[in-house]
Amino acid sequence: MQLDNDQLKLQYIKEFDLFTNICDEEMMQVAAATKMSRHSRGEFIYLPGERSDKIYFLKTGTVKLTKILEEGREVLLDMIDPGEIFGEIDALHGCRRAESAQVIQDALLCEIKSLNFGDLLKRYPELAQRVYSLSVLRLRKIEKRLVNLICKDVETRVKEALVDLMNEKGAEDHGYPPYIRLTQQDIADLIGASRQETAKVLKRLEEDDVIRLKYCLVIVKSPDRLRAAIASSSRPTSLAQKVP
């Protein structure tokens, strides 16, 4: 569903840190070139191979970026939270979509044509630098997840993913247990493991009172113990420990 109230669009766009220091007149032009739309859980924003002529800003909700590997397995590349940009890498390079973007919590999006956004970047080098930095950060996160997929066992990958998600959301700063609004299947996709393997690790963490599992939600009850669990699970086992 599209929403076309220019004042509402302007209000939403100005709340993105990305547009700090851009003058009001320019922001009005950005708002005029922007479309707003609501999307329900499960809906795809775009699919691999589609034309990439739009860049998206997430106002509310959560979107996941996934890619299908050659052997047919789906890997979750990144989770997009409110205030973040996505779809910019392919769009600004004129490439077709390399991944899919799917809503996992009802979302409100602002979208702008890549040509309009490209013109804005030319006029504001500082904005271009911010977009570049965000894109590099996302690529590094994806690279880290792929390296973990190759080099680390499922237990370590689950724990590291929970800590990364917890840190990204900054929930600890607000004085309550961090909430990670993902299903067990989402976490399995994120680390490139089966749901069954992932569920076993999550269940053990729940039994140890480190986390609490609820519907589409993981509550981290003890962040410090979760971090300590990563250190213990990744510590190499000595030969003496292996011998009965």
How do the pLDDT tens digits run along the chain, 244 residues long? 545 566 777 777 777 878 777 777 778 877 888 888 999 999 999 999 999 999 999 999 989 998 887 767 777 788 888 888 999 988 888 899 989 999 988 999 989 999 888 888 888 888 888 888 888 888 887 787 777 777 888 999 999 889 988 877 554 444 467 888 888 988 888 788 889 999 999 999 999 999 999 988 899 999 999 988 887 665 544 333 333 3
Residue 242's pLDDT is 36
Q: Can you give the pLDDT at residue 213? A: 94
SS3 content of the chain, % helix, strand, coil (to 5): 50, 25, 25
**How high is the pLDDT of residue 190?**
79
Task: Tell me how far apart the alpha carbons of residues 200 and 159 are, in angstroms, rounded to a whole number.
Answer: 12
Alpha carbon of 7 to those of 12, 31, 174: distances in Å? 9, 8, 31
The H-or-E segment that residue 36 falls in is: strand 34-39
Distance from C-alpha of 211 to C-alpha of 108, rounded to nearest angstrom: 30
Residue 170: the pLDDT is 53
CA-nearest of 53, 112, 61, 67 to 84 is 61
What domains, with CATH codes, occur in the chain?
2-150 (2.60.120.10), 152-237 (1.10.10.10)
Task: Answer whether 125's CB lies under 8 Å from 171's CB.
Answer: no
Instruction: Kindly give, in sequence order, each residue whose CB lies less than 8 Å from that of residue 214, ignoring residues fewer than 6 positions away.
Output: none
Query: Which residue type, as a one-letter code, is found at position 90?
Result: D
- Report the predicted TM-score, pTM, of the whole model to 2 decimal places: 0.73
Predicted local confidence at residue 56, as pLDDT: 94
pLDDT of residue 204: 95
